[in-house]
Structure 1
């Protein structure tokens, strides 16, 4: 993709004129940070049966096994991960006053590391653990892991503060996300297959409310040609870096001399 690409130019013009842009991100934006996706080719669920290790019933039946196979493996990957050009491109849009909120399906905390101030973590975060009994939250780094599974002061089993299969997304987060989708004028959909509900419905809500939908993905999704106004096929890092630079030029040209 080049900066002369007409689709990229359309996307940049829409962003440059946005007053309330919102981003919806999925695993694809973090791949360049060394975090494999959960679904698709090379995804975690090709190696680990999610119903055996990522379902709430599996955790309740054998928390030690879920910790050893799933939680610790993910944590080792996340400890090394840093924001990439995709995260940084979005952060530049926020700094320009274009982007209002990031709604993410990721649990890696990379948007916050990149500098975003308003991030809705749809599926929770691996940065914290919570007690399965009393609900107390603690920073992951403060939890001793010599004994697996780790336990709370109340003796309850600790777990990452993420949404497992079989659990509901926090209805407050869902409601706010839907409100933001209905009220935005531009939505950037980056690195998500747009097949997992309820997140997959957010671009549809935005589109029906009149928003301009910009999709950034390495390959087409169910949104392409149906919901998306512009589809930019490529890596999130390359596309967002180029788009942020183009938006910055467009907005600078609009400033009074």
Structure 2
């Protein structure tokens, strides 16, 4: 596999407020969409149109959701130069968290070992991340812990309104040393604060930031509609989706590029958010 030097951080406006606004919109890269089914795993894949040695993230969906509800997020990450893939397994009412976390690990392996975009895109195996929403966030933690036990740690972990899993994501957190961003939703009635994100962040072995979005609900990170939404409190919210995309993008770019100029937007005090834990 061809690898390149770490990518440079994008040019962003000077103030954190303007930088977050920029990161909430599309990045500079044209985007391609693919299907993980071509390599035997149901799911979707978004990539920048070209580039060798790209970073990649595998994203886990929430309980009873599908990857299609995260397409704007996946496409957004790809527009900022990050390969983003989401397996579409275990969408039923009684999912196996252990097996879904294994599918997230498989998704990363596919990204790292298969040339994408008709051979024009490759992924650097040293710049891999795991992320997810709700159940998918908990499974991302499980997957990260499992990779560490195998001597293959990921570069970063990020979660949105994380939900507890079985095996326990809280117990797994103490085995993960990768930098982590956990975004909690202040109006979350599925995983309310103090809830699952807080003990996971507290137990995290590596650098960690727990940031609360006070006006967000559990479903605010999603796009589109689903009949199942009527059974849960909350609904998709454009402002929450845009803000969380910006925060996730800032964090991943900071980790992947190593550029300290992104510290303020990745880790600093920002409007419409509050830092609950930083270590």
Fold equivalence (TM over 0.5): no
**Bigger Rg over Cα:** 1
Bigger RCO (CA 8 Å, 6+ sep): 1
More strand by share: 2
More helix by share: 1
